[in-house]
Amino acid sequence: MPAVYTRPLTAQERAALPRPGLFSRLFRRSSLPPPPTEAAVVSFDVRRVWDITACTPGCCPNSWLFETTDGAFVAVESWDHFAFKSGDQLSQHFRVEFLPGTGHVLSATSTGLPIEIEAVSVRDVLVDLCSREIEMLPAASLPEAFFTITGGA
């Protein structure tokens, strides 16, 4: 699995975080968790990548599955990040910063050698893969049909 470390959020990042709604502020103040103070950072090298967006861009969030060079998988789903298009050249090294409690992605960058998006579709066997904007998954957590379609890990 890719290593994850934390760093303090900047004042600008803390100011940009979503605020609780009026109901939460008025009636549930004591039960609200404290605002996050740290971002989690994960860096990984990509072996293969699949576009798993359920439909056309703009209708559904951008969804991708990355197979890392160490055999783990990173699934991402975000309205604001990962807006690549088929035919784009992605870079081999990814760095994603996110909130540890919620998985909300703050930023994503890609550098290094180009890597192509896999042409085979795996959308049908990877329904509801992400419950957060980023999930780090061991290979054993993916359905067997995924490995049948892709020719193994």
The domain total for the chain is 1
pLDDT at 102: 85
Measured CA to CA, the distance from residue 92 to residue 5 in angstroms comes to: 20
**Straight-line distance from the first to the last Cα atom of the chain, in angstroms, rounded to the nearest whole number:** 14
Amino acid at 134: I
Structural domain for 50, as ranges: 4-150
Closest of 76, 80, 79 to residue 95, by C-alpha:
76
Q: pLDDT tier at 22 (50, 70, 90 boundaries)?
A: low
Contact (CB, 8 A) for 42 and 96 = yes
pLDDT digits (tens, 9 = 90+) for 72-115: 999 988 887 776 655 556 789 999 999 988 888 998 888 899 88
Which of 33-42, 56-65, 81-90 comes out lowest in average pLDDT? 81-90
Share of the chain above pLDDT 90, in %: 23
3-state secondary structure of 82: coil
- The overall longest dimension of the chain from CA atoms, in Å, is 54
Total-model pTM: 0.82
Q: pLDDT tier at 54 (50, 70, 90 boundaries)?
A: confident
3-state secondary structure of 120: coil
